[in-house]
Amino acid sequence: MPVLYNRISNEELKKRVLNETDPRATVSFYTYFVIDNPRAFRDNLYIKLNKLKVFGRIYVAKEGINAQISIPKNNFLIFKKMLFTLHPALNKVRLNIALEDNGKSFWVLRLKVRERIVADGINDENFDLKNIGEYLQADRVNKMIDDPNTLFVDMRNHYEYEIGYFENAINIPSDTFREQLPLAVEMLQNSKHKSIVMYCTGGIRCEKASAYMRHHGFENVYHIEGGIIAYVRQAKEMGLPLRFIGKNFVFDQRMGERITSDVVAYCHQCDTLCDTHVNCKNKICHLLFIQCPNCAAKFDGCCSITCKEEMGLLYKALLKRHRISNNKIKRFNKSKKLLNRTMQFIRKNNHT
């Protein structure tokens, strides 16, 4: 029976990855296509990726596949050939290679079957996912960004937008893509005469969003092919100025790729310029927020005094528990030694 799930602890896997000497690359890809049996597709793909020592997060659904992975560079060509021949829809699928990366982005392979590869909340049977907006390359992006009759619309979450964005882009203030779609239609109702350019990190959300906008009567809809990642790579290759400023948020251990030197966000605790996302070290809280080095030291990596104090109390409780546990072990070991000596004495006297 082939292995279809990880059976090693995260701690051990993380340790192994951090100690690896062979270089890795972080790669993301997606494509919308019909998968008749997502479970069988998932299991087959897991076996193939596991053999290639691929880690990451992959979602499979009837509507397609969405993946962010880390792969050993010496296995990249084998992986590419495997992927391109896995299904006709994956032949020459665009692979977005990370812009700023040491390959230590993932250390476990999680491959899950989902209802959708992007949770969108769309229940309209007449919605046509194939009726997407026009793809844009980096050169046209730079031309359109200065056009007063063009609106750039950021289809990422607010915490992604706050550390980096295209110049003058509109943010749809929301925590989820599901909430953003109807809100985007509402906010842009009076701009149907303009060109609407949608973008996201790697293209998966803005592609679906462009189809949603067309479904609601918007005609001049575009989206950046490959998202921010592909745009930056193309712009550099073409020698074009970067019109995306700041950092690009990514959903792995890096939490961000530096695109330009601009710092456009602020520490959530002291309001100094900062664009470093962290999770609150209080595991009960685990809030994602921006924290500068000074506040990290002041709050012990926590988001608030409350969480810092809770962390202190939790540490004391764990320390007390650890001491009690150790004392029990010591008492048990002491009793065990005494019992062994007693048994030896009985056996010795029984033989005399």
Active site residues: 200
The DSSP output letter for 266 is B
Which structure tokens are listed for 42?
């998932």
Please classify residue 340 by burial: count the beta carbons closer than 10 Å to its beta carbon, then call 0-12 exposed, 13-18 middle and 19+ buried: exposed
| 212 Cβ contact partners less than 8 Å away, ≥ 6 residues apart | 120, 122, 127, 181, 184, 185
Contact 142, 243 (CB under 8 A): yes
Which structure tokens are listed for 209?
């969003």
Residues present in the chain in total? 352
DSSP structure string for 111-150: EEE-S-SS------TT--TT---EEE-HHHHHHHTT-TTE
Which one, of 125, 97, 133, lies nearest residue 25 by Cα?
Answer: 97
Alpha carbon distance 181, 184 (integer Å)? 5
**Residue 59: which H helix or E strand, with range?**
strand 55-61
| 227 Cβ contact partners less than 8 Å away, ≥ 6 residues apart | 96, 199, 200, 201, 202, 203, 204, 206
Task: State which amino acid sits at residue 261.
Answer: S
Is the Cα torsion angle 67, 68, 74, 80 positive or negative in sign? positive
| 51 Cβ contact partners less than 8 Å away, ≥ 6 residues apart | none
Alpha carbon distance 43, 50 (integer Å)? 11
What residues does 150 pair with on adjacent strands? 195
Return the C-alpha torsion angle 293, 299, 304, 310, nearest 10. 150
